[in-house]
Amino acid sequence: MVNSVKILSFDDIRNLCGDNFRYIPNGGNMGDALIVHGEYRFFEDYGLNYQDKSSDALLVHGGGGGLIEGYYTVVADVLEPHCKRNRDILILPSTIKGHTDFFNKYSSQFTIIVRDKISYTSLRESGFPPEKLYLAHDMAFYLFEIKIQENYRFLPPLGTLLALRIDSESAQTGNIDGSMDLSAQYGSGTMGMYEVEAVVKYMLLFLSIYSVVITDRLHVGIACSILGKKCYMMRNSYYKNRAIFELSIQGRFDCVEFVDSIDDVPQSVLEDVSKHVDSNLIVSNLTAIKDAHENQDGIKLEKFFYQKVLHLSTCFVPTVKLRRKIRAL
């Protein structure tokens, strides 16, 4: 059944959104910012009015990974008051695990796009109307469609980045030396357009410094796909990483290889893990970028961003030529 389901194009998603709607970005970490930045660029490029405040406007939720029963309830909590007011809601590409009672209760109001076949099958089997259920790639991949990767091919690679998650979705056991949970270094509940643009630039520049990335963070893996960066992507605690890899990365981005655990990564790659990542510096930089946007204190975000990316890593010292390229981003 699911193997014959069409994967929506971005034109198809545009048609589901319509011309006017109210967009609700999904708050979260740096990976969520990558999704939201892709969505803002998508809306802007297609000329859509995503700030319609009328009471009967379609609500478009940014999607992502916040609808996982047993892990997260925040998205359902945000959407239910709108359901009770009989609002129609479109959920952009998401992984959905559980929450079947919620979606079936309000099925007449929901149109759902999922980003993996397991979520699609689960919703179909729960009784969710098939004519309101779609399959598409994660919205972060829109950044590849507009060739954002062309801006990040000027940095000299340094070594291996180990970026493993440290929360309940981790499937790894024990502490692994040299790792930093890159996505968790940033968090936002607002996800303003210029804020996420700056954070995503920071993220992509940081990843561009390294020759190889090892991660179990989905959107670090997706960012590497976009950049053409060699990446060993590992499973998380449930099916999300593998399912999205199989739908959207395998056969499309040969630079990313899926492995079950860090034991499956070549030893030569592990021996080259950089010891120069300063997570405290990264947190400080990202917090300052966010504050400069939120406080509107007269500091131009673009200038502030430029200052901060010059300190991405203690072993990254940009030349004058590289500084000019960063300034041009």
**Domain finish residue from 97, 125, 141:** 141
- Is residue 40 domain-shared with residue 133, that is, in the same domain? yes
Distance CA 205, CA 218 (A): 18
Asked whether residue 176 falls in the same domain as residue 313, the answer is yes
Whether 235 and 188 share a structural domain: yes
Identify the H or E element spanning 284.
helix 279-295
Residues 241 and 263 both lie in one domain: yes
| Domain with 16 in it | 2-141
One domain for residues 264 and 222: yes
Q: Which of 98, 122, 141 is the last residue of a domain?
A: 141
- In angstroms, rounded to a whole number, what is the distance separating the alpha carbons of residues 62 and 92? 5
Q: How many CA atoms lie within 13 A of 100 on its CB side?
A: 13
Same domain, 241 and 156: yes
Residue that is last in its domain, among 115, 141, 167? 141
Q: What is the pTM of this model?
A: 0.88
**What is the C-alpha end-to-end distance of the chain, expressed in Å?**
44
Question: In the chain, what percentage of residues exceed pLDDT 90?
Answer: 55
Per-residue pLDDT tens over the stretch 46-66: 999 999 999 899 999 999 998
The larger pLDDT score, comparing residue 290 to residue 159, is at 159
pLDDT tens-digit map of 239-260: 999 999 999 999 999 999 999 9
Which DSSP string corresponds to 287-329? HHHHHHHHH--S--HHHHHHHHHTTS-TT----HHHHHHHHT-
What is the number of domains present in the chain? Answer: 2
Shared-domain flag, residues 153 and 276: yes
Distance CA 76, CA 102 (A): 8
Residues 162 and 61 in one domain: no
